[in-house]
Structure 1
Amino acid sequence: MNAPLDSLAWLADEAEAHDRGTADADRLVPELGRRGLFRIGVAQSLGGAGGDTYDGVEAIAATAERSLTAAFVFWGQRTFIEYLLQSPNAALRERWLPALLAGEFAGATGLSNAMKFLSGIESLQITATPRDGCWRLDGCLPWVTNLRKAGFIVAAAVARADAGTPMVVAITGEQAGVARSDDLDLVALRGSNTAAIGIAAVNIGPEHLLHEDARSFCPAVRPAFLSLQLGMSIGLARAALRTAAVQGQGAHRPLLPRVDEISAELEGLAGILRSGLTDRRFASDPAELFRIRIRLAEIVQIALGLELDASGGRAYLRDQHRGFARRWVEGAFIPVITPSLTQLQGELARQAGTCAA
């Protein structure tokens, strides 16, 4: 299980280039796949390396310690794989899972819109119009990661024009009517193949269905969707805290008890995340998972602040402490990735109001 994680040193060497977008972004998925990372947490009977979803969380965390860009791509790929694992469409799984596990093709999670839809934050942005037992799709996905230019498959929740139950479908970049935009002009993580997708008169049939009922499928996959995403926060915080512990010597030694305190809280939350995935309680109590997401985002900011305090002026000398500036900007992404902290806080407030009523 640990063998693929022992081969991540190359990511640290290329982290700056992937963050700036000067490296070949299309290399990330094949390289991660070649090293077996996408197989972690997938049953051996399905071509995986065994383990469970939390093993996938730790693999993404280990990647995020070296490069948040690579971890972001990893999350998109691994989350789409999770959709296939939980889909009742066995034919779709058998067609796509081997190539996705191997990193021969890119999988993207376009369900951020659907997760907001579940909380009443926004409407679905793609409409499906029935046509002779199939559907015509029209709409857009304004922000999707891992849209590899060499080819991708993306999940999307779609509203039905006939007022039927919303569905979750899988479409590829090669289908007529699917248009990938240029990469979004991100502040960081520029090598993540993040773009928008326009969808105009795209024809799909039952073979494209991940699930015929988005309102049951999305809550079922949300624990994995969000937990795998939290690997990014865990890994980034670990990297910052580890650096703070190393740099926090001499005049900066008074910081070390605080570094130890935050490190212990971080690992405690990781343990709670693991137990919640194991006993499946996040499916019935998503609020607990939301609170973990909020606190981990806060811990990332605390950890980066401790790294800065422990490093002092050296943090501003790129030749001496190159990773800090990148991690500082990477950290700014953590609060806004869907579901954002503001969205989660609003959802928790809504739930609290409902309970009070």
Structure 2
Amino acid sequence: MTTAAHPLVAGARLLADDLLAPRAEHVDREGVPASHIEAVRRSGLLGVSAPREYGGAGAPDAVAREVAEILAGACCSTWFVQTQHHTPVKLLARSGLPVRERLLRPLATGERLAGIAYAHVRSFPRVSVRATAERGGWRFDGTVPWYTGWGLNDVMLLAGVCARDDVVFAFADAREQPGLRPSPPMRLAALSAAQTVSLELDGLWLPEESVVLRTPREKFAQIDIPRSTNASPAVFGVAYAALRVLESAADGAETAGALRARLDEVRRQAYALADHPVPHEHIEERLALKTRAYDLMRTATTAAVVAGGGRTMALSSPAQRLAREGMFLLVQGQTAKVRRAHLDALAAQAHEPERTFAPPR
């Protein structure tokens, strides 16, 4: 990895090796405990990208990516809860509205943990949550299909679409309250441990002072393009973790070495594009690298299962957990454009010429 000298990377490795990875299978079955989140808080990782003047680390994007890889590879459920936090922090850092001074410091220092409730905006023209100006603030009505970290987060970044098709982003307390009711925790094929619920909004009212951004939906879609089209560091983190499992198998070292070389190259190219100064350029290349990263992650987790044999079906096996986490990452943050690109890539693979074998004599 390229940023090993940074103290936050060293801290993430220590946290992963001493706590997250040894407990990952237990957490996968029982849920992310508050003690894991507290350990992430103490490590300073919640402020990795936050401004220094507000108590954050102000670290480069390369450091934030590597921290994400390490956490996701050690315990994807814990990574997924804490990764929600970083988007609200970045949005507050760019905002000039009063909510910045109220929330940025406690979020940057890790005193408070934020979650996000805005992925539904990507499904436009379907509007899952409607925002209506009312009484000097905003009323939110509808359903947030997915909200991760319920019971662990302190605040949430909520978005709704108003009558002019603007998107309103505002902060709310992450607790049951008048106008906000959570579902029971969802039982999912992977990452149930991240305590994901849906939220029913029936007249949740938030004051204007809670708003961090109001922007045309088309502008939000443009801002969202790099986030959705770049390869996720978590994909690389899970893939590398699977290769480590594969390397430990009796006959897996050669396969792991070949896959690692390919993964290293895709990672290098993907991160070079992520650092490109114009985030809305090279979209097709970004998507192609994203799908190649998916393919390599899927191959690495499959190889870990194959090398481990029947014992990988036990819930105590990291191979089966990583395979399920990889399945989750295939659809995490998915947009219609990403889904189409991925399906097209899979279809192209299906049309590749098949190898033929001569019958035995």
With the shorter chain as reference, the TM-score category is 0.7 to 0.9
**In structure 2, what is the Cα distance between the partners aligned to 1:123 and 1:278?**
32
Tell me the equivalent position of 1:18: 27
Deviation at 1:292, TM superposition (A): 2.9
Tell me the equivalent position of 1:274: 271
Conserved? CA contact 2:49–2:86, under 8 Å: no
- 1:59 paired with 2:67, answer yes
Conserved? CA contact 1:287–1:348, under 8 Å: no
Deviation at 1:316, TM superposition (A): 4.7
Deviation at 1:334, TM superposition (A): 1.8
Q: Aligned runs of 1:138-217 on 2, under 5 Å?
A: 138-147=141-150, 149=151, 151-161=153-163, 163=164, 165-174=166-175, 176-213=178-215, 214-217=217-220
- 1:80 paired with 2:88, answer yes
Q: Aligned runs of 1:25-104 on 2, under 5 Å?
A: 25-89=33-97, 91-104=98-111
Q: 133, 137, 141: which one pairs with 1:134?
A: 137
| Shift in CA distance, 169/309, structure 1 to aligned 2, threshold 3 Å | same
| Shift in CA distance, 206/173, structure 1 to aligned 2, threshold 3 Å | same
Deviation at 1:201, TM superposition (A): 0.9
Conserved? CA contact 1:108–1:144, under 8 Å: yes
Tell me the equivalent position of 2:355: none
- 1:299 paired with 2:296, answer yes
The letter for the 2-side match of 1:157 is A
Q: 320, 338, 348: which one pairs with 1:344?
A: 338
| Shift in CA distance, 150/312, structure 1 to aligned 2, threshold 3 Å | closer
The letter for the 1-side match of 2:159 is A
Deviation at 1:15, TM superposition (A): 0.8
| Deviations 1:171-228 (CA, angstroms, capped at 9, x unpaired) | 223453122222111223222121111111122233222211043245325534665x
Conserved? CA contact 1:241–1:304, under 8 Å: yes
Deviation at 1:234, TM superposition (A): 0.9
Conserved? CA contact 2:158–2:170, under 8 Å: yes
**In structure 2, what is the Cα distance between the partners aligned to 1:226 and 1:210?**
24
What secondary structure does 1:283 align onto?
coil
| Shift in CA distance, 222/95, structure 1 to aligned 2, threshold 3 Å | farther
Q: 237, 240, 251: which one pairs with 1:238?
A: 240
Tell me the equivalent position of 1:353: none
The letter for the 1-side match of 2:299 is I
**TM-score of the aligned structures, taking structure 2 as reference length:** 0.81
**In structure 1, what is the Cα distance between the partners aligned to 2:102 and 2:286?**
32
Tell me the equivalent position of 1:125: 128
Q: Percent identity of the aligned residues?
A: 21
The letter for the 1-side match of 2:170 is V
Deviation at 1:233, TM superposition (A): 0.9
Conserved? CA contact 2:47–2:107, under 8 Å: no
| Deviations 1:286-334 (CA, angstroms, capped at 9, x unpaired) | 4433333322222111001222333345535677xx2112212222212
| Shift in CA distance, 224/280, structure 1 to aligned 2, threshold 3 Å | farther
Segments of 4+ in structure 1 off by > 4 A? 224-227, 316-319, 347-350
The letter for the 2-side match of 1:128 is A
Tell me the equivalent position of 2:10: 3
Aligned residues: 333
What secondary structure does 1:14 align onto?
helix
**In structure 2, what is the Cα distance between the partners aligned to 1:96 and 1:206?**
14
Greater RCO (CA < 8 Å, at least 6 residues apart): 1
Tell me the equivalent position of 2:305: 308
**In structure 2, what is the Cα distance between the partners aligned to 1:189 and 1:126?**
25
Range with bigger deviation, 93-102 or 184-193:
93-102
What secondary structure does 2:194 align onto?
coil
Conserved? CA contact 1:29–1:104, under 8 Å: no
Deviation at 1:24, TM superposition (A): 5.4
**In structure 2, what is the Cα distance between the partners aligned to 1:83 and 1:286?**
23
> How much is the aligned-residue C-alpha RMSD, in angstroms?
2.8
| Deviations 1:76-132 (CA, angstroms, capped at 9, x unpaired) | 12233222233343x322322232234333311222222333xxxx52211122224
Deviation at 1:54, TM superposition (A): 3.1
Deviation at 1:35, TM superposition (A): 1.2
